[in-house]
């Protein structure tokens, strides 16, 4: 499978809110780097991280507009968004979206690194506004 096809499959698992499917596509030493530079290392840690994130944003999805791939590196440009809903309540007032870029590094048939470049201020504003 090409790097591009593997990363497209990874994005499909994100859009399906499928932490088990994501974990199956990660290297054991997988690295996730968020837009603030925070890093989570390890497939098991990221499996739990995705599970927790989908608990807060159960309809989180990426909307790719452009894909570029060269060797083991694939980048995607588009948007990310969903509904901030840690309490199970959804609604238009809880929806957020932001432009983003995403970079994946593939090793063999697995994703070694997933990096997010996005302004997540829209979800941070929702989190602050709904805090007790």
DSSP for residue 88 = S
Cα–Cα nearest to 60, from 89, 45, 80, 36 = 80
How many percent of the chain have pLDDT more than 70? 99
- The structure's pTM equals 0.91
Q: pLDDT (tens digit, 9 = 90+) per residue, 42-96?
A: 999 999 999 999 999 999 999 999 999 999 999 999 999 999 887 877 778 788 8
- The total of other beta-carbon atoms located within 10 Å of residue 17's CB is 19
Q: What share of the chain is helix, strand, coil (3-state, %, to 5)?
A: 35, 40, 25
Backbone phi, then psi, for 88, in 5-degree steps? 85, -5
pLDDT of the residue at 120: 74
Structural domains of the chain, with CATH: 3-130 (3.10.450.50)
Nearest to 119 by CA among 94, 98, 92: 98
Identify the pLDDT of residue 90.
75
Is 14:79 a contact under the CB 8 Å cutoff? no
């Amino acid at each position: 499978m090409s790097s591009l096809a593997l990363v497209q499959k990874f994005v499909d698992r994100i859009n399906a809110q499928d932490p088990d499917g994501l974990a199956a596509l990660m290297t054991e030493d997988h690295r996730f780097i968020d837009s603030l530079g925070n890093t989570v290392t390890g497939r098991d840690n990221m499996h739990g991280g995705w599970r927790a994130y989908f608990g807060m944003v159960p309809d989180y999805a990426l909307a790719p507009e452009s894909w570029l791939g060269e060797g083991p590196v694939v980048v995607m440009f588009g948007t990310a968004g969903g509904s901030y809903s840690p309490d199970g309540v959804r609604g238009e007032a809880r929806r957020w979206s932001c432009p983003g870029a995403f970079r994946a590094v593939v090793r063999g048939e697995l994703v070694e690194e997933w990096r997010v470049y996005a302004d997540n201020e829209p979800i941070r504003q929702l989190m602050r506004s709904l805090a007790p």
